[in-house]
Amino acid sequence: MINRVVVFMIQESEMLRIKLFNCQKQEARIVDMEEYVVGAVAASMPPEFPREALKAQAICCRTLAAKRARIFGGSGCRRQQEFDVCSDPDHCQGFLDEDERQKIWHSCYEEYTEKIRQAVDETRGMVLVYNDNPIEAVFHPACGGYTEDSENVWGNRVSYLRRVECIYCKDSPYWKTTRTFSIRELKKRLGINFDDHQVDKIEIPGLIHKISSTAAGRIKSVKIGDMLFDGDEVRNLLNLPSTRFAWKVSSVSFQVMGMGHGLGMCQYGARGMALLGFPVDEILKFYFTGAEIRTLEKPTSSKPLKGKIIVLDPGHGGDSGSTGPMGLSEGYVNLEIARVLADCLEQEGATAYLTRDKNEFKSLAERVRFSNDVKPDITISIHQNIFSDDKMGGTETFYYPGDAEGKRLAEHIQKNLVLALMLRDLGAKEADLYVLRETNNPSVMINVAFLSNPEEERLLSEPDFRQKAAAAIIEGILSYYQD
């Protein structure tokens, strides 16, 4: 049975407090949520920006805090474990307290603070949600024409972080910038070998080639000299504002569009839209596909899975599927484990969907489409392994290469399964599987045991064993959300 659930009522007075670690000052603070949002907006957007843009920023900052805060079931800051958020803009979210704002804004302190506070007050309690859960409301200074699809930056698809064409940041200083390097400097910075005899020519054949770019026009990978780089590596090594760049060769000039990772809200775009008269909700809905604005609800319990939507995929099923040496059907076992898992998840306050609820055939494409339509928080595929050598046994969990959340989820589930079932630990591993690649949300595929191994087939036929496996998977999901 699951006994990890702690339910407690949160006192009104301590309800919307954020535990903040101020990295600049190395100082711990407990701040009221709305006050926190003032400091976060101050750190994230120029206060000269128009009101609707500041309101959009306030909603993004509040949403990111709600997503992290443990009081709403968030994981907290993963670097400063006891805190909800840290003030490192590259980790959780930037924050400027009163002193810091005074230092930066000098004589404008009163005016700017008042302006930001108004934007925060006018959006009091509002957060961006997708399927009723706060989203990763990320933003960047300027997209330079197109925002980016999440998989091109994070590796995993997120339904509300889709590419949009943005002309609204055209007036920003980052719309187009140029950085020029001599060939010698380029060689030094990138650590590449290149014969530069032909440098005085206008073209330098073979210096930059094999370019692949995203649909949004950002560089995914490029070969410079003798080395292959990720767009992000070139961006970091040459200190370019974004990966949306092109070049000219005499010396080499990189022409860069936009600034930042390109995900979510383009801040100069929000400014441009506000100047054109767009209200805050239209600005946010433009950049966060399918997201809605809600007022933050008072949390009543700390069940980490409350409100989560989880899709369980017990494989294709049907009679055509695989069986063990004693005739146990994989389609049947997978479905039985998924059913127990679904019951446990419902008890934890989550909503569980099965991609099939009978032992009948359903194609892979159909099951993936189902998962993407439901828009869950995570997807878990349950399978058993079949191998020619019947002595081969153990438990393994797969995630899609580059899916950081999938990897974390796989590691938590694998650890708990191995502890509970005590079969051989084959590890949490990368695999380029269709079900993982095509699913729009963090997903894992579990091989609980080897159906081809007579001993493990016998275990899989026992309801107790299947219950134990389901309970271990839940423990893994819980620790994934609490980590």
> Which residues of this protein are in contact with Zn ion, per CB under 5 A?
77, 79, 86, 91-92, 143, 166, 169, 266, 269
DSSP E strands: which ranges in 274-361?
292-295, 309-313, 351-354
How many C-beta atoms surround the C-beta of residue 298 within 10 A?
13
Euclidean distance between CA atoms 258 and 260, whole angstroms: 7
Based on DSSP, count helices (H) and strands (E) in the chain, helices before strands.
14, 20
DSSP helix/strand/coil, 459: helix
CA distance linking residue 467 with residue 474, whole number of Å: 11
Answer positive or negative: Cα dihedral of 313, 316, 319, 324: negative
Contact assessment for residue 202 and residue 250, using Cβ atoms and an 8 Å cutoff: yes
Helices within 348-388 (DSSP H only): 364-374
Residue 262 vs 307, nearer CB to Zn ion: 262
With respect to Zn ion, which residue has the nearer C-beta, 91 or 415? 91
For Zn ion, which is the closer residue by CB, 64 or 470? Answer: 64
Angle between helices 51-68 and 280-287 in degrees, nearest 10: 60
Q: Sort residue 417 into left (φ over 0), alpha (ψ -120 to 50) or beta.
A: alpha
CB closer to Zn ion, 79 vs 103: 79
- Beta-bridged to residue 293, according to DSSP, are 128
Q: Which is nearer to Zn ion, 266 or 423 (CB)?
A: 266
Which one, 148 or 377, has the nearer CB to Zn ion?
148
- As a whole number of angstroms, the distance between CA 355 and CA 374 comes to 10
> Are 76 and 65 within 8 A, CB to CB?
no
**Minimum CB separation from Zn ion for residue 146, in Å?**
8
Q: 287 or 353: whose CB is closer to Zn ion? A: 287
Tell me whether residue 265 or residue 448 sits nearer to Zn ion (CB atom).
265
- Residues 207, 197 contacting (CB under 8 angstroms): no
How big is the chain by its Cα radius of gyration, in Å? 25
Distance of closest approach, residue 218 Cβ to Zn ion, in angstroms: 13
Least distance in angstroms from the C-beta of 168 to Zn ion: 6
Nearer to Zn ion, 132 or 282 (CB): 282
Distance CA 406, CA 387 (A): 25
| Distance in angstroms (rounded) separating the CA atoms of residues 3 and 6 | 8
Tokens of 260: 């930042």
